[in-house]
Chain A
Protein backbone atom coordinates (compact mmCIF):
# COMPACT_ATOMS: atom_id res chain seq x y z
CA UNK A 1 0.00 0.00 0.00
CA UNK A 2 1.39 3.34 -0.87
CA UNK A 3 1.75 5.07 2.44
CA UNK A 4 4.10 7.66 1.05
CA UNK A 5 1.56 9.32 -1.20
CA UNK A 6 1.08 12.35 0.98
CA UNK A 7 4.76 13.19 1.50
CA UNK A 8 5.60 12.90 -2.18
CA UNK A 9 2.75 14.86 -3.64
CA UNK A 10 3.27 18.12 -1.97
CA UNK A 11 7.01 18.65 -1.98
CA UNK A 12 6.61 18.62 -5.73
CA UNK A 13 4.13 21.47 -5.64
CA UNK A 14 6.49 23.44 -3.51
CA UNK A 15 9.51 22.74 -5.68
CA UNK A 16 7.56 23.73 -8.73
CA UNK A 17 6.71 27.15 -7.32
CA UNK A 18 10.25 27.67 -6.13
CA UNK A 19 11.99 26.65 -9.32
CA UNK A 20 9.62 28.41 -11.62
CA UNK A 21 11.74 31.43 -10.71
CA UNK A 22 14.85 29.79 -12.16
CA UNK A 23 12.86 28.64 -15.17
CA UNK A 24 11.61 32.18 -15.82
CA UNK A 25 15.07 33.76 -15.46
CA UNK A 26 16.57 30.99 -17.60
CA UNK A 27 13.95 31.43 -20.33
CA UNK A 28 14.39 35.22 -20.36
CA UNK A 29 18.20 35.04 -20.59
CA UNK A 30 18.15 32.32 -23.23
CA UNK A 31 15.56 34.04 -25.41
CA UNK A 32 17.49 37.30 -25.13
CA UNK A 33 20.61 35.49 -26.27
CA UNK A 34 18.83 33.89 -29.22
CA UNK A 35 17.20 37.18 -30.24
CA UNK A 36 20.57 38.98 -30.23
CA UNK A 37 22.07 36.30 -32.45
CA UNK A 38 19.14 36.49 -34.88
CA UNK A 39 19.22 40.30 -34.99
CA UNK A 40 22.92 40.14 -35.88
CA UNK A 41 22.01 38.71 -39.27
CA UNK A 42 19.91 41.76 -40.16
CA UNK A 43 21.54 44.63 -38.33
CA UNK A 44 24.91 45.35 -36.79
CA UNK A 45 26.10 48.69 -35.37
CA UNK A 46 29.17 48.45 -37.64
CA UNK A 47 31.27 45.82 -39.36
CA UNK A 48 32.95 43.85 -36.59
CA UNK A 49 35.87 42.74 -38.78
CA UNK A 50 37.06 45.97 -40.40
CA UNK A 51 39.77 47.73 -38.35
CA UNK A 52 39.39 51.47 -37.83
CA UNK A 53 42.63 52.79 -36.38
CA UNK A 54 41.41 56.26 -35.57
CA UNK A 55 38.64 54.81 -33.37
CA UNK A 56 40.85 52.35 -31.47
CA UNK A 57 40.42 51.78 -27.74
CA UNK A 58 37.37 54.01 -27.36
CA UNK A 59 36.03 53.77 -23.79
CA UNK A 60 32.51 52.42 -23.07
CA UNK A 61 29.84 55.08 -23.34
CA UNK A 62 31.12 56.62 -26.56
CA UNK A 63 28.37 57.62 -28.98
CA UNK A 64 27.96 54.98 -31.76
CA UNK A 65 30.19 52.59 -29.76
CA UNK A 66 28.33 52.14 -26.45
CA UNK A 67 30.69 49.45 -25.15
CA UNK A 68 33.72 50.98 -26.78
CA UNK A 69 36.10 49.52 -29.37
CA UNK A 70 39.05 47.12 -29.27
CA UNK A 71 42.72 47.62 -30.06
CA UNK A 72 42.01 47.76 -33.79
CA UNK A 73 39.02 50.05 -33.44
CA UNK A 74 36.34 47.37 -34.03
CA UNK A 75 33.01 47.85 -32.27
CA UNK A 76 32.57 45.61 -29.18
CA UNK A 77 28.78 45.33 -29.46
CA UNK A 78 28.99 44.22 -33.08
CA UNK A 79 31.62 41.62 -32.17
CA UNK A 80 29.55 40.32 -29.23
CA UNK A 81 26.51 39.99 -31.47
CA UNK A 82 28.33 38.01 -34.13
CA UNK A 83 30.03 35.99 -31.36
CA UNK A 84 26.56 34.95 -30.10
CA UNK A 85 25.93 33.33 -33.50
CA UNK A 86 29.10 31.27 -33.21
CA UNK A 87 28.23 30.22 -29.69
CA UNK A 88 24.82 28.99 -30.84
CA UNK A 89 26.13 27.32 -33.97
CA UNK A 90 28.89 25.48 -32.17
CA UNK A 91 27.19 24.92 -28.78
CA UNK A 92 23.82 23.83 -30.14
CA UNK A 93 25.41 21.98 -33.06
CA UNK A 94 27.68 19.97 -30.78
CA UNK A 95 24.91 19.32 -28.26
CA UNK A 96 22.40 18.26 -30.95
CA UNK A 97 24.71 15.83 -32.72
CA UNK A 98 25.84 14.34 -29.38
CA UNK A 99 22.23 14.06 -28.29
CA UNK A 100 21.27 12.13 -31.41
CA UNK A 101 24.30 9.83 -31.33
CA UNK A 102 24.11 9.42 -27.52
CA UNK A 103 20.40 8.58 -27.66
CA UNK A 104 20.93 5.91 -30.29
CA UNK A 105 23.91 4.40 -28.47
CA UNK A 106 22.22 4.66 -25.05
CA UNK A 107 19.01 2.99 -26.25
CA UNK A 108 20.92 0.20 -27.97
CA UNK A 109 22.98 -0.37 -24.81
CA UNK A 110 19.85 -0.42 -22.64
CA UNK A 111 17.68 -2.63 -24.82
CA UNK A 112 19.81 -4.92 -26.95
CA UNK A 113 21.42 -7.30 -24.54
CA UNK A 114 24.50 -7.64 -22.46
CA UNK A 115 27.08 -7.73 -25.26
CA UNK A 116 25.82 -4.50 -26.85
CA UNK A 117 25.67 -2.89 -23.44
CA UNK A 118 29.18 -3.91 -22.43
CA UNK A 119 30.64 -2.81 -25.78
CA UNK A 120 28.95 0.58 -25.75
CA UNK A 121 29.47 1.28 -22.06
CA UNK A 122 33.15 0.35 -22.11
CA UNK A 123 33.59 2.33 -25.34
CA UNK A 124 32.08 5.36 -23.62
CA UNK A 125 34.40 4.84 -20.64
CA UNK A 126 37.43 4.81 -22.91
CA UNK A 127 36.32 7.95 -24.74
CA UNK A 128 35.71 9.74 -21.45
CA UNK A 129 39.17 8.84 -20.23
CA UNK A 130 40.81 10.74 -23.12
CA UNK A 131 41.38 14.38 -22.10
CA UNK A 132 39.05 16.56 -24.16
CA UNK A 133 41.37 19.48 -24.78
CA UNK A 134 44.08 17.20 -26.16
CA UNK A 135 41.58 15.68 -28.59
CA UNK A 136 40.50 19.14 -29.70
CA UNK A 137 44.09 20.27 -30.26
CA UNK A 138 44.87 17.17 -32.28
CA UNK A 139 41.70 17.63 -34.31
CA UNK A 140 42.53 21.28 -34.95
CA UNK A 141 46.04 20.31 -36.03
CA UNK A 142 44.81 17.65 -38.43
CA UNK A 143 41.55 19.14 -39.73
CA UNK A 144 42.44 22.81 -39.42
CA UNK A 145 40.66 25.06 -36.96
CA UNK A 146 37.15 26.32 -37.57
CA UNK A 147 33.57 25.98 -36.40
CA UNK A 148 33.15 22.53 -37.90
CA UNK A 149 36.23 21.15 -36.19
CA UNK A 150 35.02 22.58 -32.89
CA UNK A 151 31.61 20.96 -33.32
CA UNK A 152 33.35 17.71 -34.11
CA UNK A 153 35.48 17.98 -30.99
CA UNK A 154 32.43 18.78 -28.83
CA UNK A 155 30.60 15.77 -30.26
CA UNK A 156 33.53 13.58 -29.28
CA UNK A 157 33.45 14.92 -25.69
CA UNK A 158 29.72 14.91 -25.16
CA UNK A 159 28.48 11.76 -26.88
CA UNK A 160 29.82 9.34 -24.25
CA UNK A 161 28.24 11.36 -21.42
CA UNK A 162 24.92 11.51 -23.25
CA UNK A 163 25.13 7.79 -23.89
CA UNK A 164 25.52 7.08 -20.20
CA UNK A 165 22.64 9.33 -19.14
CA UNK A 166 20.28 8.02 -21.82
CA UNK A 167 21.24 4.42 -21.08
CA UNK A 168 20.45 4.66 -17.39
CA UNK A 169 17.23 6.63 -17.95
CA UNK A 170 16.09 4.10 -20.58
CA UNK A 171 16.96 1.18 -18.32
CA UNK A 172 14.76 2.48 -15.54
CA UNK A 173 11.86 2.93 -17.98
CA UNK A 174 12.43 -0.55 -19.43
CA UNK A 175 11.93 -2.05 -15.97
CA UNK A 176 8.44 -0.63 -15.66
CA UNK A 177 5.47 -2.95 -15.91
CA UNK A 178 4.00 -1.17 -18.91
CA UNK A 179 6.97 -2.40 -20.93
CA UNK A 180 6.24 -5.96 -19.79
CA UNK A 181 2.61 -5.45 -20.79
CA UNK A 182 3.59 -4.17 -24.22
CA UNK A 183 5.81 -7.22 -24.77
CA UNK A 184 2.96 -9.47 -23.66
CA UNK A 185 0.60 -8.11 -26.28
CA UNK A 186 3.27 -8.54 -28.88
CA UNK A 187 5.02 -5.19 -29.35
CA UNK A 188 8.56 -5.35 -30.70
CA UNK A 189 11.65 -3.63 -29.37
CA UNK A 190 11.71 -0.75 -31.86
CA UNK A 191 8.11 0.15 -31.16
CA UNK A 192 8.68 -0.03 -27.42
CA UNK A 193 11.73 2.23 -27.66
CA UNK A 194 10.02 4.74 -29.93
CA UNK A 195 6.59 4.91 -28.32
CA UNK A 196 7.24 4.09 -24.68
CA UNK A 197 10.86 4.77 -23.82
CA UNK A 198 11.61 7.97 -25.73
CA UNK A 199 8.47 9.86 -24.57
CA UNK A 200 9.32 8.92 -21.00
CA UNK A 201 12.93 10.07 -21.21
CA UNK A 202 12.19 13.16 -23.31
CA UNK A 203 12.38 15.33 -20.21
CA UNK A 204 15.83 14.02 -19.38
CA UNK A 205 16.90 14.57 -22.99
CA UNK A 206 15.74 18.19 -23.05
CA UNK A 207 17.38 19.00 -19.73
CA UNK A 208 20.64 17.37 -20.75
CA UNK A 209 20.52 19.24 -24.05
CA UNK A 210 20.35 22.65 -22.36
CA UNK A 211 23.15 21.76 -19.96
CA UNK A 212 25.42 20.51 -22.76
CA UNK A 213 24.50 23.51 -24.89
CA UNK A 214 25.95 25.64 -22.09
CA UNK A 215 28.98 23.38 -21.69
CA UNK A 216 29.50 23.57 -25.46
CA UNK A 217 29.56 27.36 -25.38
CA UNK A 218 32.14 27.26 -22.58
CA UNK A 219 34.31 24.72 -24.38
CA UNK A 220 34.09 26.58 -27.66
CA UNK A 221 35.18 29.80 -25.90
CA UNK A 222 38.07 27.91 -24.35
CA UNK A 223 39.19 26.44 -27.66
CA UNK A 224 38.91 29.76 -29.47
CA UNK A 225 40.80 31.42 -26.64
CA UNK A 226 43.60 28.94 -27.27
CA UNK A 227 43.46 29.77 -30.94
CA UNK A 228 42.23 26.37 -32.11
CA UNK A 229 38.56 27.30 -32.37
CA UNK A 230 36.95 29.57 -34.95
CA UNK A 231 38.94 32.13 -36.92
CA UNK A 232 38.01 35.47 -38.46
CA UNK A 233 35.83 36.44 -40.23
CA UNK A 234 33.89 34.35 -37.71
CA UNK A 235 34.01 35.81 -34.25
CA UNK A 236 33.92 34.00 -30.95
CA UNK A 237 33.73 35.29 -27.42
CA UNK A 238 36.77 33.18 -26.63
CA UNK A 239 38.66 34.81 -29.49
CA UNK A 240 37.68 38.24 -28.11
CA UNK A 241 39.09 37.22 -24.74
CA UNK A 242 42.32 36.19 -26.39
CA UNK A 243 42.62 39.48 -28.28
CA UNK A 244 41.74 41.50 -25.19
CA UNK A 245 44.65 39.88 -23.41
CA UNK A 246 47.05 41.98 -25.50
CA UNK A 247 45.54 45.16 -24.15
CA UNK A 248 45.21 44.22 -20.48
CA UNK A 249 46.41 47.17 -18.43
CA UNK A 250 45.50 49.62 -21.16
CA UNK A 251 41.81 48.86 -21.29
CA UNK A 252 40.64 46.24 -18.80
CA UNK A 253 36.88 46.27 -19.66
CA UNK A 254 37.77 44.83 -23.05
CA UNK A 255 38.21 41.37 -21.51
CA UNK A 256 35.20 41.91 -19.29
CA UNK A 257 32.54 42.08 -22.06
CA UNK A 258 33.01 38.66 -23.66
CA UNK A 259 33.56 37.19 -20.18
CA UNK A 260 30.29 38.70 -18.99
CA UNK A 261 28.48 37.47 -22.09
CA UNK A 262 29.70 33.91 -21.48
CA UNK A 263 28.72 33.98 -17.80
CA UNK A 264 25.22 35.35 -18.50
CA UNK A 265 24.43 32.91 -21.32
CA UNK A 266 25.81 29.84 -19.54
CA UNK A 267 23.98 30.83 -16.37
CA UNK A 268 20.79 31.33 -18.35
CA UNK A 269 21.00 27.91 -19.99
CA UNK A 270 21.82 26.19 -16.73
CA UNK A 271 18.88 27.86 -14.97
CA UNK A 272 16.67 26.84 -17.88
CA UNK A 273 17.90 23.25 -17.59
CA UNK A 274 17.32 23.13 -13.82
CA UNK A 275 13.91 24.69 -14.18
CA UNK A 276 12.90 22.28 -16.93
CA UNK A 277 14.16 19.32 -14.93
CA UNK A 278 11.60 19.97 -12.25
CA UNK A 279 8.75 20.53 -14.64
CA UNK A 280 9.55 17.60 -16.93
CA UNK A 281 11.08 14.94 -14.70
CA UNK A 282 8.76 11.93 -15.01
CA UNK A 283 9.73 10.69 -11.56
CA UNK A 284 8.38 13.83 -9.99
CA UNK A 285 5.34 13.87 -12.20
CA UNK A 286 4.23 10.29 -11.95
CA UNK A 287 3.30 10.47 -8.29
CA UNK A 288 0.82 13.29 -8.62
Chain B
Protein backbone atom coordinates (compact mmCIF):
# COMPACT_ATOMS: atom_id res chain seq x y z
CA UNK B 1 0.00 0.00 0.00
CA UNK B 2 1.46 3.29 -1.06
CA UNK B 3 0.73 6.57 0.59
CA UNK B 4 0.40 9.75 -1.36
CA UNK B 5 0.49 13.23 0.04
CA UNK B 6 -0.12 15.61 -2.83
CA UNK B 7 -0.59 18.39 -0.29
CA UNK B 8 1.74 19.68 2.39
CA UNK B 9 1.20 17.66 5.54
CA UNK B 10 0.26 20.76 7.48
CA UNK B 11 -2.94 21.23 5.51
CA UNK B 12 -5.43 19.67 7.85
CA UNK B 13 -8.02 17.30 6.37
CA UNK B 14 -11.51 18.78 6.22
CA UNK B 15 -13.37 15.52 6.33
CA UNK B 16 -11.72 12.48 7.73
CA UNK B 17 -12.63 9.02 8.95
CA UNK B 18 -10.35 7.12 11.32
CA UNK B 19 -10.34 3.37 11.90
CA UNK B 20 -13.94 3.11 10.83
CA UNK B 21 -15.57 -0.30 11.14
CA UNK B 22 -19.16 -1.33 10.75
CA UNK B 23 -20.72 -4.73 11.35
CA UNK B 24 -24.22 -5.64 10.24
CA UNK B 25 -26.24 -8.36 11.91
CA UNK B 26 -27.82 -10.73 9.44
CA UNK B 27 -30.90 -12.88 9.76
CA UNK B 28 -30.56 -15.96 11.95
CA UNK B 29 -29.90 -19.13 9.99
CA UNK B 30 -31.20 -21.34 12.78
CA UNK B 31 -33.96 -20.55 15.26
CA UNK B 32 -31.72 -20.50 18.33
CA UNK B 33 -28.36 -20.09 16.64
CA UNK B 34 -26.28 -16.92 16.86
CA UNK B 35 -27.01 -14.14 14.39
CA UNK B 36 -24.36 -14.19 11.69
CA UNK B 37 -22.56 -10.91 11.16
CA UNK B 38 -21.14 -9.19 8.10
CA UNK B 39 -18.23 -6.82 8.40
CA UNK B 40 -19.10 -4.19 5.78
CA UNK B 41 -16.35 -1.77 6.75
CA UNK B 42 -13.03 -2.80 8.22
CA UNK B 43 -10.69 -0.19 9.76
CA UNK B 44 -11.12 2.46 7.11
CA UNK B 45 -8.88 5.53 7.08
CA UNK B 46 -9.89 8.18 4.61
CA UNK B 47 -9.50 11.91 4.31
CA UNK B 48 -10.07 14.82 2.00
CA UNK B 49 -8.40 18.24 2.18
CA UNK B 50 -9.54 21.62 0.88
CA UNK B 51 -9.08 21.88 -2.88
CA UNK B 52 -8.36 18.19 -3.16
CA UNK B 53 -10.34 15.77 -5.32
CA UNK B 54 -10.37 12.25 -3.99
CA UNK B 55 -11.82 9.23 -5.74
CA UNK B 56 -13.43 6.20 -4.16
CA UNK B 57 -13.81 3.16 -6.40
CA UNK B 58 -14.88 -0.40 -5.94
CA UNK B 59 -17.28 -2.99 -7.23
CA UNK B 60 -20.81 -3.21 -5.88
CA UNK B 61 -20.63 -4.86 -2.48
CA UNK B 62 -17.19 -3.44 -1.74
CA UNK B 63 -18.56 -1.20 1.02
CA UNK B 64 -18.32 2.12 -0.77
CA UNK B 65 -22.04 2.79 -0.33
CA UNK B 66 -21.77 2.24 3.43
CA UNK B 67 -18.69 4.45 3.61
CA UNK B 68 -20.60 7.14 1.71
CA UNK B 69 -23.40 6.91 4.27
CA UNK B 70 -20.84 7.46 7.03
CA UNK B 71 -19.19 10.39 5.24
CA UNK B 72 -22.54 12.10 4.76
CA UNK B 73 -23.60 11.52 8.35
CA UNK B 74 -26.57 9.33 7.47
CA UNK B 75 -25.31 6.35 9.42
CA UNK B 76 -23.48 6.30 12.72
CA UNK B 77 -20.37 4.14 12.71
CA UNK B 78 -20.11 1.17 15.06
CA UNK B 79 -16.43 1.80 15.66
CA UNK B 80 -14.11 4.63 14.72
CA UNK B 81 -14.63 8.31 14.13
CA UNK B 82 -15.98 10.60 11.47
CA UNK B 83 -14.27 13.97 11.86
CA UNK B 84 -15.16 17.26 10.30
CA UNK B 85 -12.53 19.95 10.73
CA UNK B 86 -10.87 17.81 13.38
CA UNK B 87 -13.95 17.36 15.57
CA UNK B 88 -16.03 14.18 15.84
CA UNK B 89 -19.35 14.64 14.06
CA UNK B 90 -21.32 12.36 16.38
CA UNK B 91 -19.92 13.45 19.73
CA UNK B 92 -18.94 17.05 18.95
CA UNK B 93 -22.26 18.62 19.95
CA UNK B 94 -25.27 20.04 18.11
CA UNK B 95 -23.53 23.18 16.86
CA UNK B 96 -20.78 21.14 15.26
CA UNK B 97 -23.26 18.70 13.72
CA UNK B 98 -25.06 21.66 12.20
CA UNK B 99 -21.80 23.01 10.83
CA UNK B 100 -21.09 19.56 9.36
CA UNK B 101 -24.58 19.36 7.75
CA UNK B 102 -23.96 22.69 6.15
CA UNK B 103 -20.39 22.10 5.08
CA UNK B 104 -20.67 18.63 3.58
CA UNK B 105 -23.08 18.44 0.66
CA UNK B 106 -24.02 15.57 -1.60
CA UNK B 107 -24.74 15.09 -5.30
CA UNK B 108 -26.54 11.84 -6.07
CA UNK B 109 -26.46 9.58 -9.08
CA UNK B 110 -29.80 10.04 -10.74
CA UNK B 111 -30.64 13.71 -11.32
CA UNK B 112 -34.22 12.88 -12.35
CA UNK B 113 -34.90 11.34 -8.99
CA UNK B 114 -32.91 13.77 -6.86
CA UNK B 115 -35.17 16.77 -7.53
CA UNK B 116 -38.80 16.86 -6.43
CA UNK B 117 -40.88 16.84 -9.65
CA UNK B 118 -43.56 18.96 -7.97
CA UNK B 119 -41.24 21.69 -6.80
CA UNK B 120 -40.03 24.58 -8.90
CA UNK B 121 -36.28 24.57 -9.39
CA UNK B 122 -35.97 27.88 -7.55
CA UNK B 123 -37.72 26.45 -4.49
CA UNK B 124 -35.56 23.32 -4.58
CA UNK B 125 -32.45 25.50 -4.63
CA UNK B 126 -33.58 27.49 -1.60
CA UNK B 127 -34.49 24.39 0.39
CA UNK B 128 -31.05 23.79 1.94
CA UNK B 129 -30.80 27.45 3.06
CA UNK B 130 -34.25 27.35 4.61
CA UNK B 131 -33.75 23.97 6.21
CA UNK B 132 -30.38 24.90 7.69
CA UNK B 133 -31.70 28.37 8.64
CA UNK B 134 -28.91 30.17 6.85
CA UNK B 135 -29.35 33.94 6.89
CA UNK B 136 -28.40 36.32 4.12
CA UNK B 137 -29.50 37.44 0.69
CA UNK B 138 -30.97 34.22 -0.66
CA UNK B 139 -31.89 35.66 -4.06
CA UNK B 140 -28.35 36.85 -4.67
CA UNK B 141 -26.95 33.51 -3.56
CA UNK B 142 -29.20 31.63 -6.02
CA UNK B 143 -28.01 33.79 -8.90
CA UNK B 144 -24.38 33.40 -7.88
CA UNK B 145 -24.65 29.61 -7.74
CA UNK B 146 -26.58 29.37 -11.01
CA UNK B 147 -23.75 31.26 -12.62
CA UNK B 148 -21.19 28.89 -11.12
CA UNK B 149 -22.90 25.86 -12.67
CA UNK B 150 -23.60 27.59 -15.97
CA UNK B 151 -27.39 27.86 -15.84
CA UNK B 152 -29.68 30.70 -16.78
CA UNK B 153 -31.88 32.39 -14.19
CA UNK B 154 -35.07 31.56 -16.09
CA UNK B 155 -34.51 27.99 -14.89
CA UNK B 156 -35.82 29.04 -11.46
CA UNK B 157 -39.49 29.20 -12.38
CA UNK B 158 -39.51 25.87 -14.20
CA UNK B 159 -40.16 22.30 -13.08
CA UNK B 160 -37.62 19.44 -13.30
CA UNK B 161 -39.39 17.65 -16.16
CA UNK B 162 -38.64 20.61 -18.42
CA UNK B 163 -34.90 19.89 -18.25
CA UNK B 164 -32.55 17.32 -19.75
CA UNK B 165 -30.54 14.94 -17.56
CA UNK B 166 -27.37 17.01 -17.85
CA UNK B 167 -29.13 20.23 -16.89
CA UNK B 168 -30.79 18.50 -13.95
CA UNK B 169 -27.42 17.31 -12.70
CA UNK B 170 -26.20 20.92 -12.87
CA UNK B 171 -29.24 21.94 -10.84
CA UNK B 172 -28.51 19.20 -8.30
CA UNK B 173 -24.92 20.44 -8.06
CA UNK B 174 -26.20 24.00 -7.66
CA UNK B 175 -28.44 22.91 -4.80
CA UNK B 176 -25.49 21.24 -3.12
CA UNK B 177 -23.46 24.47 -3.47
CA UNK B 178 -26.18 26.71 -2.02
CA UNK B 179 -25.18 26.51 1.66
CA UNK B 180 -21.55 27.19 0.74
CA UNK B 181 -20.14 23.76 1.50
CA UNK B 182 -16.47 22.97 2.01
CA UNK B 183 -16.77 19.36 0.87
CA UNK B 184 -18.81 17.98 -2.01
CA UNK B 185 -19.57 14.27 -2.07
CA UNK B 186 -20.55 13.11 -5.55
CA UNK B 187 -21.98 9.60 -5.68
CA UNK B 188 -21.80 8.29 -9.27
CA UNK B 189 -22.69 11.76 -10.56
CA UNK B 190 -22.31 11.01 -14.28
CA UNK B 191 -23.19 7.34 -14.69
CA UNK B 192 -26.82 8.18 -15.52
CA UNK B 193 -25.83 10.79 -18.13
CA UNK B 194 -25.13 10.65 -21.85
CA UNK B 195 -21.49 10.50 -22.92
CA UNK B 196 -21.35 13.99 -24.39
CA UNK B 197 -22.99 15.38 -21.25
CA UNK B 198 -20.75 13.41 -18.87
CA UNK B 199 -17.77 15.43 -20.03
CA UNK B 200 -19.59 18.72 -19.29
CA UNK B 201 -20.43 17.65 -15.74
CA UNK B 202 -16.95 16.25 -15.05
CA UNK B 203 -15.38 19.51 -16.23
CA UNK B 204 -17.79 21.47 -14.03
CA UNK B 205 -16.82 19.44 -10.94
CA UNK B 206 -13.15 20.02 -11.70
CA UNK B 207 -13.72 23.76 -12.04
CA UNK B 208 -15.54 23.88 -8.72
CA UNK B 209 -12.65 22.20 -6.95
CA UNK B 210 -10.19 24.61 -8.51
CA UNK B 211 -12.22 27.83 -8.23
CA UNK B 212 -13.91 27.35 -4.88
CA UNK B 213 -11.23 25.28 -3.18
CA UNK B 214 -13.77 22.57 -2.43
CA UNK B 215 -12.80 19.15 -1.24
CA UNK B 216 -14.39 16.63 -3.60
CA UNK B 217 -15.12 12.99 -2.86
CA UNK B 218 -15.94 11.29 -6.15
CA UNK B 219 -17.51 7.87 -5.80
CA UNK B 220 -17.77 5.69 -8.91
CA UNK B 221 -17.26 2.25 -10.30
CA UNK B 222 -15.57 3.42 -13.48
CA UNK B 223 -11.87 3.97 -12.90
CA UNK B 224 -11.32 6.08 -16.02
CA UNK B 225 -13.94 8.64 -15.03
CA UNK B 226 -12.53 8.84 -11.49
CA UNK B 227 -8.99 9.11 -12.75
CA UNK B 228 -9.92 12.03 -14.93
CA UNK B 229 -11.54 13.95 -12.07
CA UNK B 230 -9.37 13.24 -9.04
CA UNK B 231 -5.76 13.39 -7.93
CA UNK B 232 -5.89 10.55 -5.43
CA UNK B 233 -7.90 7.36 -5.56
CA UNK B 234 -8.90 4.95 -2.80
CA UNK B 235 -9.75 1.43 -4.00
CA UNK B 236 -12.18 -0.54 -1.86
CA UNK B 237 -12.82 -4.26 -1.78
CA UNK B 238 -14.79 -6.33 0.74
CA UNK B 239 -14.98 -3.52 3.27
CA UNK B 240 -11.30 -2.60 3.20
CA UNK B 241 -9.24 0.08 1.50
CA UNK B 242 -6.88 -2.11 -0.47
CA UNK B 243 -4.93 0.53 -2.33
CA UNK B 244 -4.42 4.29 -2.38
CA UNK B 245 -2.57 6.17 -5.04
CA UNK B 246 -2.45 8.63 -7.87
CA UNK B 247 -4.81 7.56 -10.65
CA UNK B 248 -2.10 7.10 -13.25
CA UNK B 249 0.05 5.01 -10.91
CA UNK B 250 -2.92 2.80 -10.18
CA UNK B 251 -3.55 2.43 -13.90
CA UNK B 252 0.02 1.63 -14.82
CA UNK B 253 0.99 -0.43 -11.86
CA UNK B 254 -2.00 -1.76 -9.96
CA UNK B 255 -0.95 -3.69 -6.88
CA UNK B 256 -4.07 -5.02 -5.22
CA UNK B 257 -6.15 -7.67 -6.91
CA UNK B 258 -9.28 -5.46 -6.81
CA UNK B 259 -7.40 -2.62 -8.51
CA UNK B 260 -6.13 -4.98 -11.17
CA UNK B 261 -9.69 -6.17 -11.80
CA UNK B 262 -10.93 -2.58 -12.11
CA UNK B 263 -8.08 -1.55 -14.39
CA UNK B 264 -8.64 -4.67 -16.47
CA UNK B 265 -12.30 -3.81 -16.83
CA UNK B 266 -11.67 -0.44 -18.43
CA UNK B 267 -12.46 -0.57 -22.11
CA UNK B 268 -11.00 1.99 -24.45
CA UNK B 269 -11.66 2.82 -28.06
CA UNK B 270 -7.95 2.44 -28.80
CA UNK B 271 -7.75 -1.08 -27.39
CA UNK B 272 -10.92 -1.99 -29.26
CA UNK B 273 -9.55 -0.76 -32.56
CA UNK B 274 -6.33 -2.60 -31.94
CA UNK B 275 -8.39 -5.76 -31.52
CA UNK B 276 -7.23 -6.66 -28.03
CA UNK B 277 -9.91 -5.10 -25.84
CA UNK B 278 -11.56 -8.38 -24.93
CA UNK B 279 -8.39 -10.44 -24.80
Residues on A lying within 8 angstroms of B by beta carbon are: 1-2, 176-178, 180-187, 191, 195-196, 199-200, 202, 282, 285-288
Contacts and interface: CB of A to CB of B under 8 A. Distances in A.
A1 B194 contact: yes
B176 to A, nearest CB: 8
Interface of B: 72-74, 98, 101, 105-106, 108-110, 112-119, 124, 127-128, 131-132, 161, 165, 172, 175, 179, 192-194
A181 B172 CA distance: 9
B117 A2 contact: no
A200 B118 contact: yes
Contacts, number: 70
Chain A to chain B: the 3 pairs with minimum beta-carbon distance, closest first: A177-B114, A199-B118, A185-B128
The A contact surface, by secondary structure, is helix
A178 B128 CA distance: 12
Given A177-B108, A177-B109, A288-B161, A185 B101 contact: yes
A249 to B, nearest CB: 57
Nearest to B160: A286
28 contacts: A1-B192, A1-B193, A176-B113, A177-B109, A178-B113, A178-B115, A180-B74, A180-B114, A181-B106, A181-B108, A181-B114, A181-B175, A182-B127, A184-B72, A184-B101, A184-B105, A185-B101, A186-B98, A186-B128, A186-B131, A187-B131, A195-B119, A196-B119, A199-B116, A200-B116, A200-B117, A200-B118, A282-B117
Contacts of A195: 119
Contacts of B110: 177
A281 to B, nearest CB: 12
B106 A186 contact: no
A67 B238 CA distance: 80
Contacts of B161: 285-288
Contact of B131 (A176, A182, A282): A182
B interface SS class: loop
Residue in A180, A184, A202 with the greatest tally of chain B CB atoms within 10 Å? A184
Given A1-B194, A185-B128, A187-B131, A180 B165 contact: no
A199 B118 CA distance: 7
A191 B127 CA distance: 11
A184 B172 CA distance: 13
B117 A286 contact: yes
A160 B65 CA distance: 37
Nearest to B113: A177
A162 to B, nearest CB: 21
A180 B179 CA distance: 17
Nearest to B128: A185
B179 A285 contact: no
Given A181-B175, A185-B127, A285 B117 contact: yes
Given A184-B72, A191-B131, 10 more contacts: A2-B165, A176-B113, A180-B108, A182-B127, A184-B74, A185-B101, A185-B179, A195-B119, A286-B112, A286-B117
